[in-house]
Amino acid sequence: MGSIDAEVLGSEKKSNPGKATILALGKAFPHQLVMQEYLVDGYFKTTKCDDPELKQKLTRLCKTTTVKTRYVVMSEEILKKYPELAIEGGSTVTQRLDICNDAVTEMAVEASRACIKNWGRSISEITHLVYVSSSEARLPGGDLYLAKGLGLSPDTHRVLLYFVGCSGGVAGLRVAKDIAENNPGSRVLLATSETTIIGFKPPSVDRPYDLVGVALFGDGAGAMIIGSDPDPVCEKPLFELHTAIQNFLPDTEKTIDGRLTEQGINFKLARELPQIIEDNVENFCKRLIGKAGLAHKNYNQMFWAVHPGGPAILNRMEKRLNLSPEKLSPSRRALMDYGNASSNSIVYVLEYMLEESKKVRNMNEEENEWGLILAFGPGVTFEGIIAINLDV
């Protein structure tokens, strides 16, 4: 693995031979748009709950998450067809999976088509598929149904990542990077797709932590095309993926805990999660930057594409790493517009990163080319990639 001369920071705009690059991005959402200001009344009406304390708690959570809008698969039509989803204690995993399996495939196909259109090349040139989801469970997996929905060649090599949670998008990107760099000429489609229906439940005093998910999480899909040695005639690389690492923290497996039960996913986030991330993020970033061969450690000279797990995580990261407020702006915008969309979120963050880079360039201000792509998920697992913004 080659090292980087810190002196070239901000000077190189072409991808390095053999290094994986992101060649296109795409996204898709279900049709149901939820405005955060109306969520509480709608949720309690739908679930026929009249507990004033729970309603007050959800109201507070909706304000603190900073989320303004989200897209969700859940709708009045679905609840009319499956009213048992809003009733406590029923065995509904079969119904949930029937809805989720179809929904995630539909969104993944739409996001992938948008990505392929942005890429500008033929779908027949896709050689590999990496599919990520924590919202379905079936055999064969969603990778096959996505390949079928897109009309991919039966020779397409597929990789499936299930139940990786919020780190899934960056984990999939790491896997796609390895595939692209070890298969010259390959073009990898990475697709992520998530829906919260798998864990939708009525409010309960026995599960107050469920309200965090109600206030925070959103649905959608994302897609990327990854390949090395871009064709200068018909491909425009967006980011080079230079170095990737993964790390899990021993004895933290209960911090983000999800179990598939007869009632769907029972999901629990421990209160100490933001503190755990704050306590460990700097050492992780040091390891990542060190492995890439970067001699400097000025975080504010780099861009930061961070999975927006929630405002507390972003705030603690900003404080611990002494980041300028604008560094996490793409992550905060993604959180505000889409909520925490699990594995999809990193696609939305990267889109906002490119948008803000263009604004800086138009204002003739210096833009940061080197940066970090980060996510945190069950384990607790840290995923990180040192990248170069080539779209500057």
Q: Which two tokens stand for residue 85?
A: 């989803």
3-state DSSP assignment of residue 304: strand
Residue 171 contacts residue 246 (beta carbons within 8 Å): yes
Nearest 5°: phi and psi at 147? -60, -40
Cα 79 from chain centroid (whole Å): 27
Q: Which two tokens stand for residue 345?
A: 């979120």
Angle between helices 345-362 and 168-182 (to 10 degrees): 80
Of the candidates 204, 210, 162, the residue with the CA atom closest to the CA atom of residue 342: 162
186 half-sphere exposure, CB direction, 13 A CA radius: 24
* Distance (Å) of CA 152 to CA 132, 179, 187, 225, 342: 17, 17, 12, 14, 26
Q: Which two tokens stand for residue 391?
A: 């779209």
Of the candidates 265, 244, 254, 260, the residue with the CA atom closest to the CA atom of residue 170: 244
C-alpha to C-alpha distance for 234 and 335, rounded to whole angstroms: 33
370-377/381-389 β-pairing: antiparallel
Q: What does the DSSP assignment read for 134-162?
A: SS---SS-HHHHHHHHHT--TT-EEEEEE
E runs forming strands in 180-255: 188-194, 220-228, 239-248
E runs forming strands in 279-380: 303-306, 370-377
Catalytic residues: 166
Beta bridge partners of 354: none
Q: Please give the torsion angle defined by the CA atoms of residues 259, 139, 142 and 210, in that order, rounded to the nearest 10 degrees.
A: -10
